[in-house]
Amino acid sequence: MRAIQHLRLALLALMLALAVLIRPSAVSAHEAAMGVLEFREVRPGAFVGRWSIEPSIGASRVDLRVPPHCFLRLPEMNCGAKGLVGPITITNLGSNMSVVLIKVIPIEGEPRSYTISTANPVVSVLGIGAPTLEVWLELARTYVNYGIDHILLGADHLLFVLGLIWIVGGGWRLVKTITAFTIGHSASLAAAAFGLIGVPERPLNACIALSIAFVGVEIVKQQRGEIGLTARYPWIVAFSFGLVHGIGFASALAGLGLERRLLPAALLFFNVGVEIGQLAFVLLVLALIWAHRRLDAVVPRWGEALPAYLIGSVSMFWFFGRLVRVFAVI
């Protein structure tokens, strides 16, 4: 039975490792030219739009779409009494300009900045002249979905959770461990989002990779019959590293340009999305455990250690890739 459990986690870890190794963006973001699109409100619901792009790049081929109720003919955009609220989409950026910074400057209130990339071509603008109810509904929809996407596309966070499941097993022990991890990353996410704590993003990402390597070492200890720190104090370890991962979650919110009055609700909805995605992943792993218990498979002795070394190897691959970026000049 134990061999079957090793087999299923080996396959799962292998799939995660392959998915990450063929996706270079897991180590670092693509460095490319940035375009800037500014929308300045000149009267309620009316904006003047202006591109600020290097002449060699140009914006003629870019496909820009604004909320359906807005009429756009650059440099003018009119959103009427409803205001600028809803999705802005930019596609066909090409290889010369893969990132666009959208600046929205209202007549009253704080300016906001949003980042669009080839990987994430849509952002939702919130709270500029829009009815309160519509703002909150759009806020909830946007940030719950964003939280789900962030956790399910964050292979480093998922790999850490996978390591916890490996060490802790199932039952209430797992529930308490995942809860401790949730409390940890929720607390640090809130503190970082409100500016109470701040850690440079690149060193932080390197530390997140090291947390996964730590779990890999703990798995090896467990396979050797030793009782590691995670096996002895799973809730303390999960909570402690949850604090680190939570600051990483906060970095995902850094460039979204929210007004401070909307930040608490956005934070709540984002965290709800993260928890939904995390719960879905845990349930998927538990479903695989249940399914593979019915298999009759024999795993060679060397295969039992494979998942731990895969987790360790992938995490160190991330760590050194991110460490290089910490000391990069550009």
Residues 211 and 311 in one domain: yes
Q: Structurally, how many domains does the chain consist of?
A: 2
- Classify burial at 316, counting beta carbons within 10 Å of its beta carbon; exposed 0-12, middle 13-18, buried 19 or more: middle
**Range in 208-212, 221-225, 244-248, 297-301 the model is least confident about:** 297-301
Q: Is residue 315 part of a domain?
A: yes
Domain boundary residue, one of 84, 103, 133: 133
Residues 201 and 317 in one domain: yes
- The 8-class DSSP code of residue 115 comes to E
Partner residues linked to 76 by β-bridges: 48, 73
The Cα–Cα gap between 244 and 267 comes to: 17
For residues 10-25, give the mean pLDDT.
49
- pLDDT attached to residue 226: 86
User: Is the model's pLDDT at 160 over the cut of 70?
Assistant: yes
Residues 211 and 298 in one domain: yes
For residues 251-269, give the mean pLDDT.
73
For residues 44-69, give the mean pLDDT.
77
For residues 41-54, give the mean pLDDT.
84
Tokens of 30: 């693509």
Q: Is residue 139 part of a domain?
A: no
Residues 229 and 314 in one domain: yes
Residues 125 and 176 in one domain: no
User: Which range among 95-104, 148-157, 182-191 has the greatest average pLDDT?
Assistant: 182-191
Residues 51 and 189 in one domain: no
Residues 204 and 179 in one domain: yes
| Contact predicate 166/219, CB 8 Å | yes
Reported as a single tens digit per residue, the pLDDT across 265-292 is 888 888 898 899 999 998 888 887 777 6
User: Is the model's pLDDT at 30 over the cut of 50?
Assistant: no
- Residue 87 domain boundaries: 33-133
Domain boundary residue, one of 70, 105, 133: 133
Residues 171 and 309 in one domain: yes
E strand spans, 44-96 = 46-52, 63-65, 71-73, 76-78, 84-91
Angle between helices 155-168 and 234-251 in degrees, nearest 10:
170
Residues 40 and 127 in one domain: yes
CA-CA distances (angstroms) from residue 153 to 20, 156, 268, 311? 10, 9, 20, 17
CA-CA distances (angstroms) from residue 301 to 7, 78, 139, 306? 11, 68, 51, 9
pTM of structure:
0.70
Residues 159 and 260 in one domain: yes
Give kind and range of the element (H or E) at residue 40.
strand 33-43
Q: Between 94 and 38, where is the model more confident?
A: 38
**Range in 94-103, 114-123, 156-165, 281-290 the model is least confident about:** 94-103
| Contact predicate 20/155, CB 8 Å | yes
Q: Is residue 145 part of a domain?
A: no
User: Is the model's pLDDT at 7 over the cut of 50?
Assistant: no
Q: Is residue 180 part of a domain?
A: yes
Residues 122 and 178 in one domain: no
User: Is the model's pLDDT at 94 over the cut of 60?
Assistant: yes
- The rounded percent of the chain whose pLDDT value lies above 70 is 76
Written as one string, the DSSP assignment of 149-202 is HHHHH-HHHHHHHHHHHHHH-SHHHHHHHHHHHHHHHHHHHHHHHTTS----HH
Q: Is residue 229 part of a domain?
A: yes
CA atoms within 13 A on the CB side of 113: 9
Tokens of 112: 């906001």
Report the Cα 177 to chain-centroid distance in Å.
21
Pairing outcome for strands 84-91 and 122-128: antiparallel
Q: Is residue 138 part of a domain?
A: no
For residues 64-85, give the mean pLDDT.
89
Residues 71 and 206 in one domain: no
Domain boundary residue, one of 133, 163, 180: 133
User: Is the model's pLDDT at 231 over the cut of 50?
Assistant: yes
What is the widest separation between alpha-carbon atoms in the chain? Answer: 72
